[in-house]
Amino acid sequence: MGWLTPSALLPLLLSLPVAAGCAPTSAVVDGRTVPRLDLEFGGQPYAIRLSAAHPRPGGASSGLRDYGGRITGNVCGLDVAYEVQHEGDHLRLSGFVDDQTLTSSIIVNDDGGVRRLITGNLAANGGAVTLDLRYNSLRGNVGLRVFELGREGDHYIGAISVGHSLRALARINGADALWQLPPSVQAVVLPALLTCGGDELEDQLRGALVVGFGGEQTFEAKRVSSLYHVVPQDAQSSIAQSGPHSRAFDK
């Protein structure tokens, strides 16, 4: 798993346009019309643009009902494109992954200011997402991967497992930067980042998952995501362990 850092790649990834005439250019905040925002974010390995963002979105369950913008870019070698909608008590993200070949849908809820629940799928035929994100922990699954991570300083550190064949170190750097992201961007980047390294972890049963938020921006090669790499003998047992009703939501 090697990082790619061509300087010419970022402008190409972030130049995907919002459909002409479709995205609003302003929003009403406190009774005033305010321009919408265009924002960019980078980390290891991702480059994301949020276009026509609401100027005051609040949390995922802030009560806002309005268009939230369009998210485009690349995460772990996966091209992503999502439309964001604030629907009162949750965020809905609908779009495509990997050159529009995979249909994706993600829902984000804030639960009592304690945890952020990210559910849905990265691909209609797989890549189910069930994540319970808290300041001090991250638990749940993305596809066949199951995660149990705790907060240590500015990192989430713990284990990633797939059935009985794979158990490895998982480390997410930049925990503070993760929480500084808008909830919509957080919900796009985090699940996709957690699929990195499939060419080593699933294919070769070695290595570790190390990704990060903020800091130096890097890029990953195409088709290294675990969406394209499966440990066949553990597929069925892993689905049973980490399906839509993951134990991450039991507490």
Residue 22, domain member (yes or no): no
pLDDT band at 6 (very low <50, low <70, confident <90, very high): very low
Q: How many residues does the chain have?
A: 251
Question: Is 24 domain-assigned?
Answer: no
The tokens for 247 are 């134990």
Residues 142-162, mean pLDDT to the nearest whole number: 96
Residue span of the structural domain in which 170 resides = 3-17+36-238
> What amino acid is encoded at 28 in this protein?
V
pLDDT score at 148: 98
Domain-located, residue 108: yes
In a domain, 51, yes or no: yes
Q: Is residue 123 assigned to a domain? A: yes
29 domain residue, yes or no: no
In a domain, 250, yes or no: no
pLDDT tens digit string along 23-53?
Answer: 789 989 989 999 999 999 999 999 999 999 9
Domain presence at residue 140: yes
Q: Report DSSP letters for 194-247, one per residue.
A: TTTTHHHHHHHS---EEEEESSS--EE-TT-SGGG---GGGHHHHHHHSSTT-G
Phi first, then psi, for residue 9 (nearest 5°) are -75, -35
Rounded to an integer, what distance in angstroms lies between the CA atom of residue 235 and that of residue 129? 16
| Distance between CA atoms of residues 101 and 221, nearest Å | 17
pLDDT-based confidence at residue 89 (cuts at 50, 70, 90): very high
Which tokens belong to 233? 């003998």
The pLDDT tens digits for 118-144 are 999 998 777 899 999 999 999 999 999
Please report, rounded to a whole number, the percentage of residues in the chain having pLDDT higher than 70.
Answer: 82
Which position has the token pair 């969406």?
227
CB-count exposure of residue 33 (10 Å: 0-12, 13-18, 19+) = exposed
Domain count, the chain: 1
